[in-house]
Structure 1
Amino acid sequence: MNKQQQKWFYLTVLSIVWGSSFILMKKALLGVSPIQLGALRMIFTALFLLSVAFPSIKKIKKKHWQYIVYTALVGTFIPGFLFAFAITSIDSAVVSILNSLTPFNTLIFGTLVFGFTFKKSQLYGILIGLVGTLILILEGADVNPHQNYWFALLIIIASVGYAFNANIVKKYLHDLDALAITTGNFLLLIVPAIIVLSFTDFFVTFDVKNEVLMHSLGYLAILSVVGTGVAKTIYNKLVHISDPVFSSSVTYLIPIVAIFWGVLDGEKLSLIQVLGGLIILLGVYFVNKKK
């Protein structure tokens, strides 16, 4: 498989895995709180990675650790909690579409902060995508008045974090193995995650006889191992062999999978929201246009 084929293969796998993550979070939240979900997801992922990939830590040099810390915070720790809270108030399918802002933010901050080039067509793509996002949020507030669309801001903030993560990996961690980056991230996060979890009532109320809780932990285990540990390693590899904007474009394919799961779970989308999603996809066409 050549590099071009690898890029599209990784992009497809990530879209399926991450597209399924939103419904897994929604199901997990039936038995745990948003803070517990965020913390447990990091703990489960860390335990998995440290058990199968701990030797990769040796590849991390002193010069890398500063950027490993940055990517752990903005690419995993903060977004993990933001998404957990957002899904408590907005349908998972809509959250996945809002996450499509990531390539726009990757381009914007890649240019302003990291010195990457910026094409006029990409500017058009950013503006088109923002229009689609605005339509999605405003229409969602009408279609689902019981949902609090102010929580959409949490997804936007998370997408900025993902944007910084992709650019940092490309510019400062390009010479480091993808698995080492991911394992290093979660080595740093396991202790803060345990501390956060200890401030909730999880350890006090934990009961193996609680079927709802155990089902939630099952969803969390899948989400952590496949949707976070394996997927983030693949994503870091994708950034290495392509570029930050192409890699973050996976967020435009994710909604296709997420909407499928959401509809099966009884979520509703209006035609105008679908239009908003299509406008966002048009935006990514311009963002990724070569000429």
Structure 2
Amino acid sequence: MLTDTGLSPETFEVPHRHRSPTDWKAWLLLTVLLVCWSSGFIGMRFAVGHAPVSLILLWRNLIAGLVLLPFALLTGPRLTLQVLVVQSIIGLFAMAGYMLGFAYAIDEGVPTGLVALIADMLPLAIVLISIPLLGQVIARGEWLGMAIAVLGVLMVSAGALHAGDAPIWAYVLPILGMLSLAFVTVSQKRWPASVLPIHQTLCIQSLVSAALFLLICWRGGRIAPPLESGFWIGVLWLIVLATFAGYGLYYFSLARLSPARVSSVLYLSPPVTMIWARAMFGEPLSLAMGLGMAVTLAGIVIVSRYQGEAHSGV
């Protein structure tokens, strides 16, 4: 369910102690988390109107990484060469590859809500990739959930194709971005352990991603950011709301509430994104797309529940 910066929960140390805040405080926390979690797609949709995608991603990651750099160097465990190499590889797939797929899809006109919905299919992709890489056995219920989810995506995509004007090939881009994150999430189970605090992980992966986007921008002939305010509003939106607030609140919530409760709220991100994009940008929204989204989310919930049962029995 990690939609924006493309990071795996296994990359971080998350406290296992869960406090129980009063119910209204818990729902307020989860509501703010949902808004920040959905904001990454909206921020990118806003920013692409002011600069090329690669330039947006360069400055987003560069600024975020530089802000976190002093904290990463002064607090937390010592950063060894092995940890830096492993985190750099993870960052290229989980952050850079993930961002490129979704950002370019939005830039080509794929509805933002559909992009968020494909991001929500990460649990399904992890299950499928785990079959050849880890030899994981898939239960019938998981296959049923995946089939339902894919059917829902096809329903939403059909509605988007009918209402939108994005080229057909652009609908493949968010799938490739999601698969990039899923692949590295599963693959790192075989790599040396490199669990770091969130600020160190985000710093390393942001700076590595910025280096890749710097190369892309340099080859494209433009590195300097535009001076217009719209560009900087979009970049700061992505840094503050999507990266720092989104992931900060995500792990803050996991430390105080059950993972199941946090994940169940984040499943609302695609419809929130779709409604938000409709209100801000007039993106297509039809009854068929809404029904397809509901079908997909139902399938994802089924898969996630089976995965939760499997983990609880270990």
Q: What range describes the TM-score normalised by the shorter chain of this pair?
A: 0.7 to 0.9
* Aligned-residue CA RMSD (Å): 3.5
Mapped to 1, the partners of 2:235 and 2:96 lie a distance apart of 16
Provide the C-alpha distance between the structure 2 equivalents of 1:149 and 1:242, rounded to a whole number of angstroms.
41
Counterparts of 1:67 and 1:11, CA distance in 2: 32
* Letter of the structure 2 residue corresponding to residue 134 of structure 1: L
Deviates more, 1:63-72 or 1:99-108: 63-72
Q: How does 1:139-288 map to 2 (within 5 A)?
A: 139-144=159-164, 146-167=165-186, 172=191, 173=193, 175-203=195-223, 208=227, 213-232=228-247, 252-265=267-280, 266-288=282-304
Task: State whether residues 121 and 300 of structure 2, in contact with CA within 8 Å, keep that contact through their aligned partners in structure 1.
Answer: no
Instruction: Tell me how far 1:71 sits from its aligned partner.
Output: 1.5
Gap change, CA 1:242 and 1:196, over 3 Å in 2: farther
The verdict on how the C-alpha distance between 1:132 and 1:250 changes in structure 2, with shifts beyond 3 A counting, is same
In the TM superposition, residue 220 of structure 1 has moved relative to its aligned partner by 0.8
- Residue 190 of structure 1, CA deviation: 3.3
In 1, Cα distance between equivalents of 2:55 and 2:246: 21
| 2:147 paired residue number | 127
Match of 1:136 among 148, 153, 156: 156
Task: Measure, in 2, the Cα distance between the counterparts of 1:158 and 1:255.
Answer: 16
Identify which range, 73-82 or 162-171, moves more after superposition.
162-171
1:112 aligned partner: 132
Structure 1 stretch displaced more, 270-279 or 97-106? 97-106
Of 14, 19, 41 in structure 2, the residue corresponding to residue 22 of structure 1 is 41
Supply the distance in 2 between the matched residues of 1:166 and 1:244 (Cα, whole angstroms): 18
Q: Which moved more, 1:272-281 or 1:79-88?
A: 79-88
Q: Secondary structure at the match of 2:138?
A: coil
Show structure 1 runs of 5+ residues with no match. Answer: none
Separation of aligned partners in 1, 2:99 and 2:212: 13
Give the number of the structure whose residues are more often helix, by fraction: 1
Alignment partner of 1:30: what SS?
coil
Return the offset for 1:155. Answer: 0.5
* Identity between Structure 1 and Structure 2 (%): 20
In structure 2, C-alpha distance between the alignment counterparts of 1:50 and 1:100, rounded to whole Å: 30
Deviations 1:145-190 (A, max 9, x none): x222421211111111222344456675474323322222123333
Mapped contact 1:25–1:223 kept (Cα < 8 A): yes
TM-score by length of 2: 0.76
1:195 partner letter: L
Deviates more, 1:63-72 or 1:274-283: 63-72
Q: Secondary structure at the match of 2:305?
A: coil
| Aligned twin of 1:3 | 18
Letter in 2 for 1:231: G
Supply the distance in 1 between the matched residues of 2:264 and 2:87 (Cα, whole angstroms): 22
TM-score, reference length from structure 1: 0.81
The one-character-per-residue Cα deviations of 1:243-275 (angstroms, maximum 9, x if unpaired) are 999988776322132123112122221111111
